[in-house]
């Protein structure tokens, strides 16, 4: 598994934990290992769209260093923003464009998202629980960036001048 150029393709909703478990584990290992190409050697999150643009699934994985801001969860499927405040300036980059410098963007500083998270105690059903998360600062910026990827959007097209 490796980072690939993004395509403007919407990700497919995730129906069960079992359909993404293997890829989620590989993506988490990639984040932990770092060593990405280009300027950005480390990343805090990775969307499935960044490793599979033929059949992308709507989920992203967080680096362990940021998971506490997300109540300790690391895999988020079918995430959606349900509430947000005013936009603030932010500088961001993308692992899929490792040779491009950061750009000026505008992101919500506070937001509320809903997402399916893996629930290892759930014996029946999809293995997911739908949860609501209140995010601030870098956690909010990361969630927006990864949710954009699932919609087939990247920062270099969304925020072009």
pTM score:
0.91
> In this structure, is residue 47 part of a structural domain?
yes
> In this structure, is residue 48 part of a structural domain?
yes
The string of pLDDT tens digits covering residues 59-100 is 999 998 888 998 888 999 999 999 999 899 999 999 888 888
Contact present, 131 and 76 (Cβ < 8 Å): no
Q: What confidence score (pLDDT) does residue 60 get?
A: 96
> In this structure, is residue 125 part of a structural domain?
yes
User: Residue 123's pLDDT band (boundaries 50, 70, 90)?
Assistant: low
Q: Total domain count for the chain?
A: 1
Contact present, 109 and 139 (Cβ < 8 Å): no
> In this structure, is residue 69 part of a structural domain?
yes
The string of pLDDT tens digits covering residues 132-144 is 999 999 999 999 9
- Percentage of the chain exceeding pLDDT 70: 94
Cβ-proximal residues to 121 (8 Å cutoff; 6+ apart), any chain: none
Containing domain of residue 59, as a range? 17-158
Handedness of CA 23, 129, 109, 105 (dihedral sign): positive
State the pairing for strand pair 87-92/103-108. Answer: antiparallel
DSSP for residue 151: T
> In this structure, is residue 6 part of a structural domain?
no
> In this structure, is residue 56 part of a structural domain?
yes
Q: What confidence score (pLDDT) does residue 125 get?
A: 64
> In this structure, is residue 70 part of a structural domain?
yes
> In this structure, is residue 12 part of a structural domain?
no
Cβ-proximal residues to 25 (8 Å cutoff; 6+ apart), any chain: none
Question: Rounded to an integer, what distance in angstroms lies between the CA atom of residue 22 and that of residue 64?
Answer: 17
Q: Which CATH number covers residue 86?
A: 3.90.45.10
């Amino acid at each position: 598994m490796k980072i690939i150029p993004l395509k403007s393709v919407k990700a497919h909703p995730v129906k069960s934990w079992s359909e993404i478990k293997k890829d989620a584990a590989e993506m988490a290992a990639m984040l932990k290992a770092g060593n990405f190409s280009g300027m950005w050697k480390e990343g805090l999150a990775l969307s499935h769209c960044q490793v599979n643009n033929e059949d992308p699934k709507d989920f992203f994985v967080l680096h362990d260093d940021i998971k506490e801001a997300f109540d300790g969860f690391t895999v988020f499927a079918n995430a959606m923003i349900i509430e947000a405040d005013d936009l603030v300036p932010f500088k961001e980059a993308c692992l899929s464009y490792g040779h491009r410098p950061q750009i000026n963007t505008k992101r919500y500083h506070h937001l509320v998202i809903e997402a399916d998270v893996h629930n290892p105690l759930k014996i029946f059903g999809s293995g997911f629980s739908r949860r609501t998360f209140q995010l601030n600062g870098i956690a909010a910026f990361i969630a927006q960036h990864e949710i954009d990827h699932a919609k087939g959007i990247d920062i270099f097209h969304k925020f072009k001048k």
